[in-house]
Amino acid sequence: MPADTLTITDNRTGKTYEIAIKDETIKAVDLRQIKTDAEDFGLMTYDPAYMNTASCKSRITFIDGDKGILNYRGYPIDQLADDGNYLETAYLLWHGELPNAAQLAEFTTSINANLSLPDSFDNFYNGWGRDAHPMSMLMAGYAGLASIYTDSKKVLDAESRKKQIFRGIAQSMTLGAYGYRFRKSLPFIKPDPSLSFAGNFLYMLFGKEADPRLVRAVDILFILHADHEQNCSTSTMRLVGSSQADPFSSLAAAAAALYGPLHGGANEAVLKMLRQIGSVDNIPGFIEKVKAGEGRLMGFGHRVYKNYDPRARIIKQAAEDVFEVTGKNPLLDVASELEKIALHDEYFIKRKLYPNVDFYSGLIYEALGFPAEMFTVLFAIPRASGWLSQWEEMICDEDQKIGRPRQIFLGEGKRDYVPLANRG
Ligand code: CMC
């Protein structure tokens, strides 16, 4: 059996090094021994956008992007979406196993007990304009919780972390619902602990109990969005958390990362794009513009999936179920035709660009009565359970230290300060 090592010859010096391979990975710091002389810093890797760098070891979510596989703690996403619910998914992500009935009941009770925002939040919304973006309010809401829950600074205390994780999962939903109500100038509705998590959310938004088929659709969307391993926002959660900042400050940072249109903001961008295209007749012209580099086909492509995003397939089915209740979203025809054309076009085939989770989710959200600005909040609410599970794993991981990448410095060497009067 050949050794699990990599032999590297440095042609600058002729020296040979043997580097250990573990879990199909070499440690970047093992390259530091490769030097031209004793003064040399040693070899680094250059990986902007982390295209091929594992930043952590994790046991939470597995993705095989080539095969279109997504598992939470080993359970395939389609099985969880078919038979599970969001709160047991949140429990699974956090604790590593599905809860039994007693554990789920206790977990649900604890989440419900934490749904209400602290009293001092009553004035939080007063300073905002009614047109404030709900993601701005969510980010600020997390930051506000950080200053109210001062015990959340005890990040090395397991009991304190547990308390904050319940608060974070539960109050993400309440912050989302209140942001919506505030924008509509409607009074806030207190959570009803007798309802399911998704049912409560719809109740707190719209003031009445929703059709169970719509509650189920939202629950499925929450399951699908709960975690997605080391993406931009989750890596942000871990990076900020690695400084031992409290989890609410880390959530604010993670939500900021999610907000961008290349990440969770894509669902809002998809709907705007579909509206702009307007009708099936305009699709060929739009595709030609994308191929010419004038903008992207939002909701298509993924850093990891080079196959159909398994979440997009489930969402497409959920969309059909929702439209049975709400009536069809007229933009569905544009989306379906756009998908069909793109999947047969050489540009998209060659680059392995398939619909991602955001391509159809916006159509459901719109049919449920949400304005496009709320879409990324709907992504963030369930993702809070993934962010917090990843944060807990990071805090408990002995390999983790404060995150601190290196750089390749290409700027000026040392030079002397020139007084203002002497500058040309
Ligand atoms: N439309 C048109 N061309 C695209 C698209 C797209 N949506 N995505 C990638 N490409 C092209 C890109 O121009 C490049 O072409 P070339 O090789 O000729 O330069 C090639 O495909 C590779 O693209 P890339 O930007 O190097 O790929 P990436 O892995 O850095 O980007 C991505 C991944 C998701 C940011 C990108 O596919 C994208 O911008 N998609 C649209 C935004 C979107 O839907 N984001 C949601 C992602 S899923 C939800 C989440 O988890 O965040």
Share of the chain above pLDDT 70, in %: 100
**Which helix (H) or strand (E) is 7 found in, with range?**
strand 5-10
For residue 299, how far is its CA from the centre of ligand 1 (angstroms)? 9
pLDDT grade for 2, boundaries at 50, 70 and 90: confident
The two structure tokens encoding residue 242: 């690695």
For residue 355, how far is its CA from the centre of ligand 1 (angstroms)? 11
Cβ of residue 358 lying under 6 Å from some atom of ligand 1: yes
Is the model's pLDDT at 108 over the cut of 90?
yes
Q: What confidence score (pLDDT) does residue 121 get?
A: 86
- Burial-class residue 24 by CB neighbours within 10 Å (0-12, 13-18, 19+): exposed
pLDDT in tens, 338-352: 999 999 999 999 999
For residue 349, how far is its CA from the centre of ligand 1 (angstroms)? 13
Q: What confidence score (pLDDT) does residue 316 get?
A: 86
Residues 322-329 have a mean pLDDT of: 90
The DSSP symbol for 117 reads P
The two structure tokens encoding residue 306: 């080079």
Residues contacting residue 387 through CB under 8 Å, at least 6 positions apart: 168, 233, 234, 237, 250, 251, 254
pLDDT grade for 50, boundaries at 50, 70 and 90: very high
pLDDT in tens, 19-36: 999 999 999 999 999 999
Average pLDDT of the chain?
A: 95
Is the model's pLDDT at 1 over the cut of 80?
no
Q: What confidence score (pLDDT) does residue 320 get?
A: 87
pLDDT grade for 157, boundaries at 50, 70 and 90: very high
For residue 74, how far is its CA from the centre of ligand 1 (angstroms)? 27
Q: What confidence score (pLDDT) does residue 120 get?
A: 86
Residues 184-189 have a mean pLDDT of: 96
Is the model's pLDDT at 372 over the cut of 80?
yes
Cβ of residue 296 lying under 6 Å from some atom of ligand 1: yes
Residues 187-196 have a mean pLDDT of: 94
For residue 103, how far is its CA from the centre of ligand 1 (angstroms)? 41
**Catalytic residue status for 263:** yes
Q: What confidence score (pLDDT) does residue 330 get?
A: 85
Residues 197-206 have a mean pLDDT of: 97
Ligand 1 atom closest to 351 (CA) = 21
Residues 70-93 have a mean pLDDT of: 97
Q: What confidence score (pLDDT) does residue 310 get?
A: 92
pLDDT in tens, 147-156: 999 999 999 9
Q: Where in the sequence of the chain do the CATH 1.10.580.10 domains occur?
A: 64-409
The DSSP symbol for 300 reads B
Q: Give the dihedral of Cα atoms 52, 58, 61, 64; nearest 10 deg.
A: 30
Q: Where does 278-410 have alpha helices with state H?
A: 283-291, 310-326, 331-343, 346-350, 358-367, 375-395
Q: Supply the residue whose CA is at minimum distance from atom 9 of ligand 1.
A: 301
Q: What confidence score (pLDDT) does residue 329 get?
A: 85
CATH of domain 64-409: 1.10.580.10
Cβ of residue 303 lying under 6 Å from some atom of ligand 1: yes
Q: Of 30, 78, 95, 263, which is the active-site residue?
A: 263
d(CA 159, CA 10): 50
**Catalytic residue status for 225:** no
Cβ of residue 225 lying under 6 Å from some atom of ligand 1: no
pLDDT grade for 282, boundaries at 50, 70 and 90: very high
Q: Decide: 97 and 107 in contact? Cβ < 8 Å.
A: no
The residue assigned the tokens 């031209």 is 36
Q: Supply the residue whose CA is at minimum distance from atom 26 of ligand 1.
A: 303
Select from 233, 353, 359, 376 the residue to mutate for testing ligand 1; criterion: most ligand atoms less than 8 Å from CB: 353
**Catalytic residue status for 281:** no
Residues 235-250 have a mean pLDDT of: 98
